[in-house]
């Protein structure tokens, strides 16, 4: 019986594994058949990752991306060159506003393409490297946007004294372009300072980070403690994503609890991959001005004003309400049985 | 029993290989008896969430308005093992197109999403970055990162209620509120 159950279980697992394997195989083999509704994709031609091109100062390099519409509807795709900076907690931030870095070097062969359902198109680009460009790696990107995302949202009429709100969302897909010029590979990270930031009733500890050198940092681990009068107020451990050189990071750590006026010491370290360790020993002051601003801006953004310990007490009370009558009933039943048996 | 299972699994594996080769490139069959094919890479795509519109009555004092972000997902079918990041940024809120009318200190905050799940039972998915509420502005914030060899397949981020919080200042004007959240999925460098 047990063997039969095991065999049945095994065959179900086997069938599940086969089905999953078939699904993976079909997805890998025929992407159009598995097109999700998002539907927009961009990839460096010939590679599933980013583009890596070797160049010379004053020279020109060429590359191409493939833009795909995996959806069942026709799609107009906007293409933009981008600078790559650092997101606030590491990771590439593809910036398409005013280009000031290697994004300026790129010229796309098309800024907009119209794609039939489930079709793709190659879009080439050139990168003209300035004669005075420094050695090392320079980072740019190509960003694709479904033009339908850029249409203004339908207007919603507001009654008197009301706001009707719409949060529009834009879905961008991006591929990085690394242009490597001759020169040594160096990586570094520096801490430029620490500060307290109060906005929307939230207090944030901010660390100024400055990635340097000639190549990106693959990542870093950060570990610190906030100390007051020799006592740890709270600790923080986290990872930082990839960081390109020359783009400052304002790394924010949400303050735990409510700070009180006075000075706090921040101690710890940041361990970047491929670069020396950065020791942290900074002081920040929670001044009366910051306290007043925090007070003025109201309570921190929370979904519930009820402290978590109240929820725990309520949960315990709920359990008691269920368990107590049940226990009383069981005891009464037992004593009744005892009386009867006598 | 186990020999039988292995034999059957072997036959099934061969069947899967044959099926994928046929699906991938039916025209690529070279000669009778040969099984030859090409598996094309899939794509990296994101299905971005829907964001619930809202109505808010002004009170003359700063208050928070929470709205919902729907489910969203990232699918990496490239087979390249190169990871990716998802960042989010927000434009400064406007009322009827005017930023000043959104009030002094109007902000948009996003609750860090819960770790994504895989309907296929995959492991080693993208890691969620940070924790708690985070203020959004024009500078991108990374919300998820799939390191190299991670995050392949489809990863679903669950819908959550009230996880997008808008600070409506006391001096905000009535009218049509608009902010734009930009989700960017980018391949790792």
pLDDT at A125: 98
Within 258-287 of A, beta carbons closer than 8 Å to B belong to: none
Considering the domain architecture, whether residues A6 and A91 belong to the same structural domain is answered as no
How do residues B18-37 score in pLDDT, each as one tens digit? 344 434 433 344 456 666 66
CB-based contact A167 B67, cutoff 8 Å: yes
Confidence of residue A46 (pLDDT cuts 50, 70, 90): confident
Considering the domain architecture, whether residues A235 and A105 belong to the same structural domain is answered as no
pLDDT at A306: 43
Query: What SS3 string covers A156-223?
Result: CCCCCCEEEEEEEEEEEEEEEEEEEECCCCCEEEEEEEEEEEEECCEEEEEEEEEEEECCCECCEEEE
Beta bridge mates, B137: none
**Nearest residue in B to A161, CA atom:** B174
Last residue of a domain, one of A163, A181, A199: A181
* Structural domain boundaries, residue A53: 31-149+172-181
Considering the domain architecture, whether residues A205 and A263 belong to the same structural domain is answered as yes
* Residue B114 tokens, joined: 């819960």
CATH number for position A196: 2.60.40.10
CB-based contact A38 B135, cutoff 8 Å: no
Considering the domain architecture, whether residues A176 and A199 belong to the same structural domain is answered as no
**Nearest residue in B to A293, CA atom:** B105
pLDDT at B25: 39
Q: Judge whether B177 and A163 are in contact, CB under 8 Å.
A: yes
Residue A308: inside a domain: no
Considering the domain architecture, whether residues A65 and A176 belong to the same structural domain is answered as yes
Q: Judge whether B22 and B37 are in contact, CB under 8 Å.
A: yes
Considering the domain architecture, whether residues A127 and A143 belong to the same structural domain is answered as yes
Residue A304: inside a domain: no
Residue A283: inside a domain: yes
Residue A340: inside a domain: no
Residue A223: inside a domain: yes
CB-based contact A50 B189, cutoff 8 Å: yes
pLDDT at A302: 33
Q: How far is CA B45 from CA A34, A87, A260, B87, in A?
A: 11, 20, 46, 14
Considering the domain architecture, whether residues A39 and A69 belong to the same structural domain is answered as yes
Our count of domains for chain A comes to 2
**Nearest residue in A to B170, CA atom:** A297
Lowest mean pLDDT among A132-146, A150-164, A324-338, B24-38: B24-38
Residue A101 buriedness (CB in 10 A; 0-12 / 13-18 / 19+): middle
DSSP strands (E only) in chain A: 40-44, 51-54, 60-69, 75-86, 92-95, 106-108, 112-115, 119-128, 136-146, 162-181, 187-199, 202-213, 220-228, 231-240, 249-254, 262-272, 278-286
Q: Is the pLDDT of residue A22 over 50?
A: no
Considering the domain architecture, whether residues A177 and A193 belong to the same structural domain is answered as no
pLDDT at A257: 87
Chain A nearest C-alpha distance from B156 (Å): 12
Query: What SS3 string covers A241-264?
Result: CCECCCCCEEEEEECCCCCCCEEE
Decide: helix, strand or coil at residue A110: coil
Helix axes A2-29 and B2-24, enclosed angle (nearest 10) = 20
Report the sign of the C-alpha dihedral through residues A63, A46, A123, A218, in that order: negative
CB-based contact B45 A301, cutoff 8 Å: no
Considering the domain architecture, whether residues A67 and A136 belong to the same structural domain is answered as yes
Regions of chain B where pLDDT drops below 50: 1-7, 9-30
Considering the domain architecture, whether residues A57 and A177 belong to the same structural domain is answered as yes
Residue A133 region by backbone torsions, left for phi larger than 0, else alpha for psi between -120 and 50, else beta: beta
Q: Which of B45, B64, B132 sits opposite A41 (nearest CB)?
A: B45
Considering the domain architecture, whether residues A71 and A138 belong to the same structural domain is answered as yes
Q: Which residue in A49, A139, A128, A148 sits closest to A94, CA to CA?
A: A139
pLDDT at A2: 41
Residue A237: inside a domain: yes
Beta bridge mates, A137: A180
pLDDT at B130: 83
Considering the domain architecture, whether residues A238 and A194 belong to the same structural domain is answered as yes
The residues near A187 (Cβ < 8 Å, ≥ 6 apart) are A211, A212, A213, A214, A215, A216, A217, A245, A272, A274, A275
DSSP state of B117: B
Q: Is the pLDDT of residue A136 over 70?
A: yes
pLDDT at B39: 58
CB-based contact A244 B189, cutoff 8 Å: yes
Q: Which residues of B touch A156 (CB under 8 A)?
A: 53, 176
pLDDT at B17: 44
Last residue of a domain, one of A157, A181, A205: A181
């Amino acid at each position: 019986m047990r063997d039969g159950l095991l065999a049945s279980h095994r065959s179900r697992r086997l069938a599940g594994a086969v089905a999953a394997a078939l699904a993976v195989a079909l997805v890998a083999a025929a992407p159009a058949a598995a097109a999700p509704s998002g539907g927009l994709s961009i990839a460096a031609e010939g590679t599933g990752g980013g583009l890596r091109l070797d160049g010379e100062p004053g020279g020109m390099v060429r590359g191409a991306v493939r833009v795909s519409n995996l959806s069942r509807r026709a799609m107009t795709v906007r293409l933009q060159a981008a600078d790559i900076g650092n997101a606030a907690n590491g990771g590439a931030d593809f910036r398409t506003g005013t280009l000031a870095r290697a994004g300026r070097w790129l010229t796309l062969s098309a800024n907009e393409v119209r794609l039939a359902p489930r079709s793709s198109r190659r879009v080439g680009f050139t990168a003209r490297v300035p004669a005075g460009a420094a050695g090392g790696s320079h980072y740019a990107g190509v960003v694709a946007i479904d033009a339908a995302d850029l249409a203004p949202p339908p207007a919603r009429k507001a009654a008197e004294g009301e706001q009707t709100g719409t949060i529009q969302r834009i879905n961008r897909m991006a591929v990085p372009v690394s242009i490597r010029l001759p020169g040594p590979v160096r990586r570094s990270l520096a801490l430029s300072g620490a500060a307290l930031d109060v906005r929307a009733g939230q207090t944030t500890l901010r660390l100024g980070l400055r990635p340097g050198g000639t190549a990106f940092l693959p990542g870093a681990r950060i570990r610190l403690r906030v100390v007051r009068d020799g006592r740890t107020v709270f600790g923080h451990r986290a990872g930082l994503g990839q960081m390109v050189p020359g783009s400052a990071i304002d790394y924010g750590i949400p303050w735990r609890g409510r700070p009180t006026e006075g000075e706090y010491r921040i101690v710890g370290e940041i361990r970047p991959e491929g670069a020396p360790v950065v020791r942290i020993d900074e002081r920040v002051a929670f001044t009366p001005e910051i306290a007043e601003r925090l007070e003025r801006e109201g309570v921190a953004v929370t979904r519930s004003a009820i402290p978590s310990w109240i929820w725990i007490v309520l949960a315990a009370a709920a359990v008691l309400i269920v368990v107590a009558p049940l226990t009383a009933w069981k005891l009464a039943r037992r004593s009744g049985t005892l009386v009867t048996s006598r | 029993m186990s020999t039988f299972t292995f034999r059957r699994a072997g036959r099934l594996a061969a069947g899967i290989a044959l099926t994928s080769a046929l699906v991938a490139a039916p025209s690529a069959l070279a000669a009778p008896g040969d099984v030859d094919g090409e598996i094309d890479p899939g794509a990296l795509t994101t299905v971005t969430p829907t964001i619930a519109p809202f109505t808010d009555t002004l009170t003359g004092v700063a208050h928070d308005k929470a709205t919902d972000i729907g489910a969203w997902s990232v699918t990496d079918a490239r087979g390249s093992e190169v990871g990716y990041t998802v960042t989010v940024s927000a434009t400064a809120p406007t009322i009827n197109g005017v930023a000043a009318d959104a009030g002094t200190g109007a902000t948009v905050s996003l609750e860090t999403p819960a770790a994504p799940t895989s309907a296929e039972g995959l492991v080693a998915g993208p890691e969620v970055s940070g924790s708690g509420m985070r203020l959004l502005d024009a500078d991108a914030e990374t919300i998820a990162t799939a390191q190299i060899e991670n995050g392949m397949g489809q990863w679903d981020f669950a819908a959550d209620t009230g996880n997008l919080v808008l600070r409506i200042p006391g001096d905000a004007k009535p009218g049509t509120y608009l902010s734009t959240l930009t989700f960017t999925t980018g391949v790792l460098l």
